[in-house]
Amino acid sequence: MSEQEYPLEGLKVLDFSRVLAGPFAGRMLCDLGADVVKVEPPDGDVTRLWGKVIQGLPGYYHQQNAGKRNICMDLRADGAKELVFELVKEADILIENYRPDVMPRLGLGYDELKAVNPKLIMLSISGFGHGGPESHRPAYAPIVHAEAGLMYRQADRGGLPFNDLPLSVADTNASLHGLVGLLAAVILRQRTGLGQHIDIAMIDATVATDDQVHYAIEDAEDTAALPNDTWDTGAGPILLSADFRFLWQQLTGLMGVNDPTHKEMELAEKIRIRREIVGEYLAGLPTWADVEASMGKMNLAWGQVRDPANLQQQPTVAARGAIVQIDDRAGGTRPITQSPYRFSAAKSGVRGPAPHRGEHNTEVLVGWLNKTPTEVGDLHAQGVLKLDQEFVSKPAV
């Protein structure tokens, strides 16, 4: 393999998914070199309503769909199912995250698709999986955060009211576990010649990835590590990942801090005094350089409690290009998250901006199916294919 090759070059992916669980897996496949075609309904992915809009592309949608191509199709129109079957014959992977009954109801369940292409690998992501007592339930990430105990734990440990998490971890965990399953299935297909259906439940993926769940299911919350503390320094707030007792030993043993407490003191009073002294010491560190020098001398892991608006200035994020600038399709650039894969002898990374609805109807159907532009125009006239006419021109019939 040459140093310039993408690892998944040549894989063809149909991405029927929307929002985040599903689109994120498709985005990572695209960053790794697959030809990912988003199949979007005429009313659009709901994330087209979220984020800063540049050239008709909102930020949330743009981040999860960058680099993909797009065909916009009304799956209920006469002839749509047949067109999907044609595409499936050419595809390696299909991703969807509808409720489990939706694709079969459209005549596009795994059994129907497998009959068209036995090598197809289909990834289905849903809140509660296929064939279970709650398979019928719609679910976005916050629903799973509640059901999996994450919201309760956050409130219980922090003394907070019940609130959702500030990121959609149930979606991204399911998406990443789905990605692992897809790549494992691709390797297995090399041996067997056959594809398969991968059923990922968001609640399964969340529980499997929860490193704290054993405290709850073994009734052992009291054995958990002490919570990390946040402190105000003269430069700004930090989180210290250190047992307070170790921090106190380091301050008094290495940094010359005096300990005015004694054995006869009540424990609560001793802790109060020591925490007050720690707070005063850290507040007296005026710059980030002073903070780093002090933490380094004590061999303590620490992190700046950073406003995410300044994330691009985080030194490692900046040095590793974790956020990059790409074409905004309006004559400038816009920031976007980069995929985290760094290969020694291959390429990966975001490959372009997100597509408009129907932008690649002609390009994909000509390239994948050898249709003529006239045939594509006929599909538009029949109502099978749609497009965003503000940004995309319809081909002539």
Written as six digits, the tokens of 76 are 């209920």
Count of CB atoms situated within 10 Å of the CB of 176: 17
End-to-end CA distance of the chain: 43
Say what the pLDDT of residue 227 is. 87
- Cβ-Cβ contacts under 8 Å for 135 (sequence gap 6 or more): 99, 100, 101, 126, 128, 129
Residue 391: its pLDDT value, please?
87
Position 4 scores a pLDDT of: 72
Which of 261, 229, 262 minimizes the C-alpha distance to 246?
Answer: 229
List, as one string, the DSSP characters of 13-78.
EEE---SSTTHHHHHHHHHTT-EEEEEE-TT--GGGGSS-EETTEEHHHHHHHTT-EEEEE-TTST
Instruction: For the chain, list the domains and their CATH numbers.
Output: 12-213+313-386 (3.40.50.10540), 237-304 (no CATH)
For the question of residue 290 being annotated catalytic, the response is no
Q: What is the pLDDT of residue 390?
A: 86
CA 257, CA 281: separation in Å to the nearest integer? 8
Contacts by residues 163-168 (CB-CB < 8 Å, ≥ 24 positions apart) = 165/141, 168/20, 168/140, 168/141, 168/142
Measured CA to CA, the distance from residue 55 to residue 88 in angstroms comes to 31
How far apart are the C-alpha atoms of 160 and 286, rounded to whole Å? Answer: 31
pLDDT, position 218? 93
CB 114 within 8 A of CB 195: yes
Q: Which of 31, 171, 199, 388 is catalytic?
A: 171
The DSSP-derived string for 87-156 is HHHH-SEEEE-S-TTHHHHTT-SHHHHHHH-TT-EEEEEESS-SSSTTTT----HHHHHHHTTHHHHHHH
Question: Tens place of pLDDT for every residue, the chain, 397 residues?
Answer: 445 799 999 999 999 999 999 999 999 999 999 999 999 999 999 999 999 999 999 999 999 999 999 999 999 999 999 999 999 999 999 999 999 999 999 999 999 999 999 999 999 999 999 999 999 999 999 999 999 999 999 999 999 999 999 999 999 999 999 999 999 999 999 999 999 999 999 999 999 999 999 999 999 999 998 889 999 999 999 999 998 999 999 999 999 999 999 988 999 999 999 999 999 999 999 999 999 999 999 999 999 999 999 999 999 999 999 999 999 999 999 999 999 999 999 999 999 999 999 999 999 999 999 999 999 999 999 999 999 988 887 766 5
Q: Given the DSSP bridges, would you call strands 57-58 and 53-54 parallel, antiparallel or unpaired?
A: antiparallel
Angle, helices 169-192 vs 23-31, to 10°: value is 60
Dihedral of alpha carbons 14, 19, 25, 27, sign: positive
What local confidence, expressed as pLDDT, does residue 1 receive?
40
CA distance 44 to 207: 31
- In the block, tokens 């700004």 appear at 236
Q: Return the SS3 of 304.
A: strand
